[in-house]
């Protein structure tokens, strides 16, 4: 396991993922019934953007740093959370900030150092459980939750090209076990060809009600660069397709450098 999220924290991929995550959580919390959140690839929880890894890549300078001053209205909620949470927050810390007293979260993280850091952060927190375990295996083991309402964030590192296939399998397993759950899976866009098979597999999987939200900063032709990213949402909450475009457009406006091929899209790939 070579991937360490500390090198990428606060980059445009994080901004897109976390802004949409926050929207999804708020949407699910419109109903008072308790909510379960599973973060299958949770990372360390928070990141020091002045640390050596973050400074070395500087990804956050072209990401969150561009949103902090006068954030666009549609991103104000996300930016306010980032400001209020101290060190740059990862997905578990953002989610934890929103949990209501009867909501709960399980975080899975396989890297021993990151899992230990996450455990320390949530020690004594009765609403959060941290598992040093394989997130793919947890999708089978922990679903469906007793609450019967849940959001599963799936955010693997994509170190291995097989990770798209693992994601398609993980989504199929999760959906078979918990058909009403909301699954949100982040994916990188390097080249379109990589994605075609993945999206085709999902269209054949039997899973219903799938929408993709994508942000591309440039034409995805250079396979060595993160040219864009997407969030695939199964069972998107009411108005996701209507409201996500404005958030993506605001992200592109601030984080894009007006390169050829920049684009946003929100696309239904499987009907309800
Ligand atoms: C992209 S990072 C997660 C970032 C985090 N979700 C956030 O938004 O703040 C992916 C994480 O998955 C962890 N990881 C890799 N393989 C895993 C697996 N099979 N199960 C659980 N965690 C894994 C890595 O150590 C890394 O911390």
Closest CA to 127 of 100, 148, 154: 100
Q: Which atom of ligand 1 is nearest to the CA of 21?
A: 8
Torsion of CA 48, 49, 55, 61, to 10 degrees: 170
Beta-bridge mates of residue 216: 228, 263
Structure tokens of 121?
């952060």
CA-CA distances (angstroms) from residue 15 to 88, 172, 183, 261?
Answer: 11, 27, 18, 20
Would the pLDDT of 161 be above 90? no
0.95 surpassed by pTM: yes
Q: Which atom of ligand 1 is nearest to the CA of 47?
A: 9
Please, which pLDDT band fits residue 51 given cuts at 50, 70 and 90? confident
pLDDT digits over 219-270, tens only?
999 999 999 999 999 999 999 999 999 999 999 999 999 999 999 999 999 9
Q: What is the spatial distance between Cα 205 and Cα 135, in angstroms, rounded to a whole number?
A: 20
Catalytic residues: 155
Percent over 90 (pLDDT), the chain:
89
Tokens 């091929």 map to which residue?
Answer: 261
CA-CA distances (angstroms) from residue 257 to 12, 28, 62, 97?
Answer: 12, 33, 9, 32
Structure tokens of 267?
């696309």
Q: Which atom of ligand 1 is nearest to the CA of 92?
A: 9
Closest CA to 211 of 14, 27, 5: 27
Ligand 1, pocket-test mutation among 4, 7, 43, most atoms within 8 A of CB: 43
Helix or strand (DSSP H, E) at 16: helix 12-28
Protein residue with least CA distance to atom 26, ligand 1: 43
Would the pLDDT of 45 be above 90? yes
pLDDT of amino acid 118: 97
pLDDT digits over 94-152, tens only?
999 999 999 999 999 999 999 999 999 999 999 999 999 999 999 999 999 999 999 99
The torsion angles phi and psi of 78, rounded to 5 degrees, stand at -60, -50
Which residues have any ligand 1 atom within 6 Å of their CB?
1, 3, 5, 14, 17, 41-43, 90-91, 108-111, 114, 134-136, 155-157
Higher-confidence residue of 70 and 97: namely 97
Do 28 and 100 touch, CB atoms closer than 8 A?
no
Q: How far is the CA of 63 from the centre of ligand 1 (A)?
A: 20
Q: How far is the CA of 115 from the centre of ligand 1 (A)?
A: 10
Q: What is the spatial distance between Cα 13 and Cα 248, in angstroms, rounded to a whole number?
A: 11
Q: How far is the CA of 42 from the centre of ligand 1 (A)?
A: 5
Would the pLDDT of 1 be above 80? no
């Amino acid at each position: 396991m070579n991937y360490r999220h500390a090198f990428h924290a606060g980059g445009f991929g994080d901004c897109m993922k976390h802004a949409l995550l926050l929207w999804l959580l708020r949407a699910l919390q419109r109903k008072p019934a308790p909510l379960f959140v599973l973060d299958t690839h949770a990372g360390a929880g928070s990141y020091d953007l002045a640390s050596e890894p973050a400074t070395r890549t500087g990804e956050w300078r072209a990401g969150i740093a561009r949103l902090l001053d006068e954030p666009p209205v549609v991103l104000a909620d996300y930016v306010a959370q980032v400001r209020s949470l101290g060190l740059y927050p990862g997905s578990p810390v953002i989610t934890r900030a929103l949990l209501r007293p009867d909501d709960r979260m399980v975080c899975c993280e396989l890297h021993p150092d990151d899992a230990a850091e996450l455990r320390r952060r949530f020690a004594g927190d009765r609403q959060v459980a941290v598992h040093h375990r394989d997130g793919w295996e947890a999708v089978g083991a922990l679903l469906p939750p007793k609450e019967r309402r849940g959001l599963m964030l799936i955010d693997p590192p994509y170190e291995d090209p097989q990770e798209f296939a693992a994601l398609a399998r993980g989504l199929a397993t999760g959906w078979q076990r918990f058909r009403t759950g909301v699954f949100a899976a982040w994916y990188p866009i390097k080249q379109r060809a990589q994605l075609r098979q993945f999206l085709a597999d999902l269209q054949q999987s039997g899973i219903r009600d799938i929408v993709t939200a994508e942000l591309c900063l440039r034409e995805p032709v250079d396979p060595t660069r993160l040219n864009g990213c997407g969030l695939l949402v199964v069972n998107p909450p009411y108005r996701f397709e209507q409201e996500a475009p404005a958030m993506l457009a605001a992200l592109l406006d601030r984080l894009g450098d007006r390169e050829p091929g920049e684009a946003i899209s929100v696309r239904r790939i499987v009907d309800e």
